[in-house]
Structure 1
């Protein structure tokens, strides 16, 4: 039996109310956990892109894509293995400003983690980090020892390593 693997699913859609709910219910009905989801506009005018991260077998991903593409607003859906994509996550940490003044280690952590301070005031500062899930988690564990006031993290965003002319594909589908 084949093992579960991480797949990035990209879904190109019209931007309609309720579509996120219908797409997530496809996973819910099959008791499949979505690791992360991100929705944004795509490189094609008036087309949105869902980026969904799941851990499944390849045959399951193919079945899911078939169900997703049955949704009227879905233009096309693709799936990719990690080695076929370039991906990142972003996160923000809110930390006490005292840490910047009283703790030399925090400056070293900021520099070595390639994160950056994007806001400072007398009570707190906000640190931004983009990177792999592992890099984000590593920074979280380091900063957690110093007291994180707030933390938020995006879902995966990804593009394919190979040329994938989605606009051309979509124009061909329209014809």
Structure 2
């Protein structure tokens, strides 16, 4: 079976140690986590882990089954890139003089649809939101000028189809 990109969504209670246990599931199977984001979800008191992996569908199914066995996990899902809408954000810290001295920097900002977040005497910070390849492309264009600092977020994603998690939680709350 061919490897592809999968986004795993894990809905859980927000308890200490769960991130460590979830990452251990990937470690045991020698599957690298390409991106990880944890935030509150659309459901009160429920956190959402968004994990991106490059593996086969059989392996992602096994991983999701193992994740769901964790006590604090409510439900886990996996989706292909075609089934999700996703973005990443990156920040680039660049020497301030380049903003004024290098016309090409201004062109890169405009062509990349990046935003200037702040300008200080010694540096300025750009923010770029988009797909991984768009951020990589901007990074490659800025690299020859010197990037003082660079950071990229994990993937954030929503599914194109309705997620059944809200209905599952409603049923669970009725039972208890």
Q: Same fold (TM over 0.5)?
A: yes
For residue 115 of structure 1, what is the aligned residue in structure 2? 114
Distance, in Å, in 1 between the alignment partners of 2:147 and 2:171 is: 49
The structural deviation recorded for 1:81 is 0.3
Distance, in Å, in 1 between the alignment partners of 2:118 and 2:137 is: 22
Query: Does residue 1:137 correspond to 2:173, yes or no?
Result: no
For residue 92 of structure 2, what is the aligned residue in structure 1? 93
TM-score when normalising by structure 1: 0.97
Structure 2: gaps (5+ residues): none
Distance, in Å, in 1 between the alignment partners of 2:104 and 2:168 is: 50
The structural deviation recorded for 1:163 is 2.0
Distance, in Å, in 2 between the alignment partners of 1:25 and 1:171 is: 30
Deviations for 1:8-63, whole angstroms, at most 9, x for unmatched residues?
Answer: 00000000111000000000011111101000000001100000000111111111
Distance, in Å, in 1 between the alignment partners of 2:167 and 2:119 is: 45
The structural deviation recorded for 1:166 is 2.5
The structural deviation recorded for 1:165 is 4.4
Query: Does residue 1:61 correspond to 2:65, yes or no?
Result: no
For residue 82 of structure 1, what is the aligned residue in structure 2? 81
Structure 1: gaps (5+ residues): none
Q: CA RMSD in A?
A: 0.9
For residue 160 of structure 2, what is the aligned residue in structure 1? 161
For residue 6 of structure 1, what is the aligned residue in structure 2? 5
